[in-house]
Structure 1
Amino acid sequence: MEMIAERGLEKLTMAALGREVQMSSGHLLYYFGSKDELLLRTLEWSESRLGAERGRLLARDAPARERLDAYVALYVPDGRHDPHWTLWLEVWNRSLTAAEDARDRQGAIEGAWHRDLAALVVEGVSRGEFRPVDADRFATRLRALLDGFSLQVAVGLRGTGRERVLGLVGEFLDESLTP
């Protein structure tokens, strides 16, 4: 992740990574089998850290909307070339030709985000903080919105900075969930 943050994926070769960790590219290939597997495992590692942070944010004793805003803030990239989102973009791109197992592993990561969001929406509805909605359907729609905006932030499209996106998503949440 440090190399991706500093140099971007285009300069992340097995040879360069090997030099960075003082290991030959052959050793890296022995342990990971391919660059695709190395990237996916790096994503899984990064997501496990984000998942723990997401769990802490969602477990707080706070109104559901406050925790939903924290979820959204964690989801949206910090800006252009956010290393986590750069990695996601590369793994998604490689999934076109990836083995079924790799796509299943990506799906497991996506599923954790979805389940946490849907559970939060259910909780907010049950407490009367949100208007009644189908939590699973709402989570699917919100994550699609977040993915679309996040891609724009991650690649640096003009007019789609992080703060603007957070504001637009906040408006969507107000319109969709306010009782």
Structure 2
Amino acid sequence: MRAAIGVIAEKGAAAVRMADIAARAGMSTGHILYHFGRKDRLLLEVLAWSQADLWARFGEAADRAASPDERLDLFVRFYLPRHRGDERYALWTQVLAQRHDEAGRRILTELLDGWDERLEAILREGRDSGHFAEVDLPEFTVRAVAMLSGLSEDVMFGRSRWQHTSAHAFALSALRRELRPAGRE
């Protein structure tokens, strides 16, 4: 899986060949085809594996966080690409750009919904403990994830607006401003 992510990031999903991945992984192309069948299925499986790894690391970090606000900070940090060439985010964009059958759309929906579920849990905890204002959780989540997705595209594209400030700081400030309970400055 790591070999596939590296090759996909270097060549792009459209240009990558199963033979490229097999060579990087030290396997035969037949072995790769046996396990995944088609390239589009391989890309989905690699994305799912990458997300599971990311969510495990996020879960460990979130468990150590002292407050819902710290978990929100971590969520934003884990959601946004780390830099312009972030392999994980490049894989997301390349997989999302492909056409998928019903099974593929179901996998992608589950992965995307996983982000929403994690954010809603943080928001619910923060709201219930008084750290965050009362917000409509589903509506806020849609807006927050849409903002983060747009910022992610900017980071991956290398927009110059992020040369003097961080997308992470911008997003966190916007979210915190709306989540600040009344009377707290």
Q: What TM-score comes out, normalization by structure 2 length?
A: 0.87
Provide the secondary structure at the position in 2 that maps to 1:80. Answer: coil
Whether 1:75 aligns to 2:79 is yes
Residue 163 of structure 1: how far off its partner (Å): 5.0
**Pair 8,161 (structure 1): closer, same or farther in 2 beyond 3 Å:** farther
Q: What amino acid is the match of 1:176?
A: E
What pairs with 1:69-148 in structure 2 (closer than 5 Å)? 69-94=73-98, 97-148=99-150
Match of 1:158?
160
Q: Distance in 2 between matches of 1:75 and 1:25?
A: 33
The alignment status of 1:30 with 2:34, answered yes or no, reads yes
SS at match of 2:161: coil
Which ranges of 4 or more aligned residues in structure 1 deviate by more than 4 Å?
none
Instruction: Give the Cα separation in 2 of the matches to 1:99 and 1:161.
Output: 39
Q: Give the CA deviation at 1:28.
A: 1.9
| 7-16 vs 43-52, greater mean Cα deviation | 7-16
Identity of aligned residues (%): 34
Is the contact between residue 80 and residue 153 of structure 1 (CA under 8 Å) also seen in structure 2?
A: yes
Shift of 1:3: 2.6
Q: How far apart are residue 162 of structure 1 and its match?
A: 9.8
List runs of 5+ in structure 2 lacking aligned partners: none
User: In structure 2, what is the equivalent of residue 4 of structure 1?
Assistant: 8
- 1:170 is matched with 172
The answer to whether the 8 Å contact 1:77/1:162 transfers is no
The residue aligned with 1:149 is 151
User: Structure 1 162/89 Cα, relative in aligned 2: closer, same or farther at 3 Å?
Assistant: farther
C-alpha RMSD of the superposition: 1.8
1:61 shift after superposition: 4.7
Offset at residue 27 of structure 1 (A):
3.1
Question: Could you tell me which residue of structure 2 aligns to residue 58 of structure 1?
Answer: 62
Q: Deviation of residue 9 (structure 1)?
A: 1.8
Deviations 1:122-171 (A, max 9, x none): 11011111111011211111111001100111122222359521121122
Which segment is superposed worse, 164-173 or 114-123? Answer: 164-173
Structure 1 match to 2:25: 21
Aligned to 1:159, what secondary structure does the other structure show? helix
- The correspondence for 1:49, drawn from 53, 59, 64, is 53
Q: Deviations over 1:9-52 (max 9, x none)?
A: 26532121122223333332232111111111000111011111
